[in-house]
A and B are shown apart, each in its own frame.
Chain A
Amino acid sequence: MAHEHKLEIFRGLLKFKSNVSKIWGVLIVLSIVTIVEVALGIIKPESLTENTFIKMKLLNWIFIILTIFKAYYITWDFMHMRDEVKALRRMVVWTGVFLILYLVFILLTEGDYIFDVYDTGFQSWDF
């Protein structure tokens, strides 16, 4: 059976000798990222919670970016997406990413609008 695995992660920065050692390497990467997330969530550095980018705290942006980073390594190395052909990768990833971004954009915009209606209306909702 032919099962060639691509054994490089971080665009070739880190090369592993076997598929098994690559799996453990990816586990270490994912664990470090999770520990960083939890540590940031507990410490909540003020410089990251006070400043915002596009109406969202920098800390939340960091969480989301780290999540996508983790999702990439789970899909690419645990689900062997790295070893699939380009067409299969794109069918799965582009479809999902496009539809999810579209849905998230629409729902968050709408939610924000409804908040404004509640917030600036004459009716008080806090009773």
Chain B
Amino acid sequence: MDATVTNATSEGKTWGGGNKPLKASYGKLMMWFFIVSDGLSFSGFLAAYGFSRFKFIDSWPIADEVFTHFPFLHGVNAPMYYVAFMTFVLIMSSVTMVLAVDAGHHMKKNKVIVYMFLTIIGGAVFVGSQAWEWATFIKGDYGAVETKGGKILQFLDTEGNRVALSDFAIAIPDVRVEHDRNNGVWYYAEGPLPTYSIEEVKAGFAANPNLLIRTQLLTEKGEKTVLNREESLLRLNRDAVGIVEGANLRHNEYGAPLFADFFFFITGFHGFHVFSGVLINIIIFFNVVIGTYERRGHYEMVEKVGLYWHFVDLVWVFVFTFFYLV
């Protein structure tokens, strides 16, 4: 491309360094280098997710039952709609980015400014949505009980609807207060205690005959196994050791802790890419505004940051499929 910055004097000599077999500038080639290697990092993560999922293929959480929330619609069961919206926002910001690149080719400064601005807005909306998605996931939904073996037991009523711990747990006065650092000799505090103790949940479960337990194990049809009342009581009283509300790196009320680990790691790594993409876009945006590229005579910098931005969109397409759909 004749927009290339350097034109050495060795032009025309095949082995003198002036030959450009790929007909792309140095900067763009380096961006492609980076994209290929970064793409391999992401596929490493996604392949590791696949490994863990195949390892626990009969007990992996079902994404539709995990991501069911939509902002401002409380209590509405909306599986995946919000992620679909996020996907659309990111594709849309990819479109405005490629329109900015196209306007740059025609040296239309004002159009580049408008499209770059819209791209930044789209990226910010996406990162914000992802933060909301994380907060919802960490906060949790119904709460669950963890067994000795680290398996998750969830609660259902006889119609098959999920029941939250707060709906049936019976408060037992006393029990145990959170240990603060000012009470102990060694000035160690413990983390916040769960809202209910395991005894309160067991008592509440025994008092409500229409409650059943759902295990992590998947049936032939890919639905989670629901135990009958006797099995539920047996399982709860024999195996349950702790309460899980929400998800973190060690416990996850939706099922296997590995699911939460991969969720945080992969969407976090992707979200970090979007975040840094927004920052780079802002820098380029101001460079366009002050006319740096107008004076340089070409908008190739917009093209390079555009490549990165599309790559982030490309990765999201895969994360969306493997985390939410498959």
Interface residues on chain A, number (Cβ under 8 Å): 55
Of residues 1 through 41 on chain A, the ones whose CB sits less than 8 Å from some CB of chain B are 1-3, 19-20, 23-24, 27, 30-31, 34-35, 37-38, 41
Asked if B131 lies at the interface with its beta carbon under 8 angstroms from chain A, I say no
A52 to chain B, nearest CB (A): 11
Cα separation A19 to B278 with both chains bound (whole Å):
25
**Contact with B2, one of A2, A34, A84 (Cβ below 8 angstroms):** A2
Question: What B residues does A66 contact at CB under 8 A?
Answer: 321
Q: A20-B102, A23-B99, A37-B325 are in contact. Are A115 and B91 (CB under 8 A)?
A: no
Interface core residue of A1, A20, A60, A84 (most chain B CB under 10 Å) = A1
Looking at B47-55, B133-141, B179-187, the stretch in contact with chain A turns out to be B47-55
Asked if B210 lies at the interface with its beta carbon under 8 angstroms from chain A, I say no
Asked if A54 lies at the interface with its beta carbon under 8 angstroms from chain B, I say no
Q: Is the CB of B326 within 8 A of A78?
A: no
Q: Is the CB of A79 within 8 A of B239?
A: no
Q: Is the CB of B87 within 8 A of A34?
A: yes
Of residues 19 through 67 on chain B, the ones whose CB sits less than 8 Å from some CB of chain A are 21-24, 29, 32, 35-36, 39-40, 43-44, 47-48, 50-58, 64
Asked if B242 lies at the interface with its beta carbon under 8 angstroms from chain A, I say no
Interface core residue of A24, A27, A49 (most chain B CB under 10 Å) = A27
Q: Which residue of B lies closest to A124 (CB)?
A: B149
Q: Is the CB of B298 within 8 A of A107?
A: no
Cα separation A64 to B3 with both chains bound (whole Å):
38
- A50-80 near B? 1/0 per residue, CB < 8 Å: 0000000100100110110011001101111
**Contact with B80, one of A42, A49, A99, A100 (Cβ below 8 angstroms):** A42
Cα separation A64 to B317 with both chains bound (whole Å):
10
B316 to chain A, nearest CB (A): 10
Q: Is the CB of A34 within 8 A of B326?
A: no
Residues of B whose CB lies within 8 Å of any CB of A are 1-3, 21-24, 29, 32, 35-36, 39-40, 43-44, 47-48, 50-58, 64, 79-81, 84, 87-88, 91-92, 94-95, 97-99, 101-102, 105, 147-149, 151, 215, 217, 221-222, 239, 298, 306-307, 310-311, 313-314, 317-318, 320-321, 324-326
Please provide the 7 A-B residue pairs with the shortest distance between their CB atoms, ordered closest to farther: A111-B54, A107-B51, A127-B149, A111-B51, A67-B321, A38-B84, A111-B55
Given contacts A1-B1, A23-B99, 18 further A-B contacts (CB under 8 A): A24-B95, A41-B64, A42-B79, A42-B80, A71-B314, A71-B317, A74-B94, A77-B98, A91-B22, A92-B36, A96-B40, A100-B43, A103-B44, A107-B51, A112-B57, A115-B55, A119-B58, A126-B151
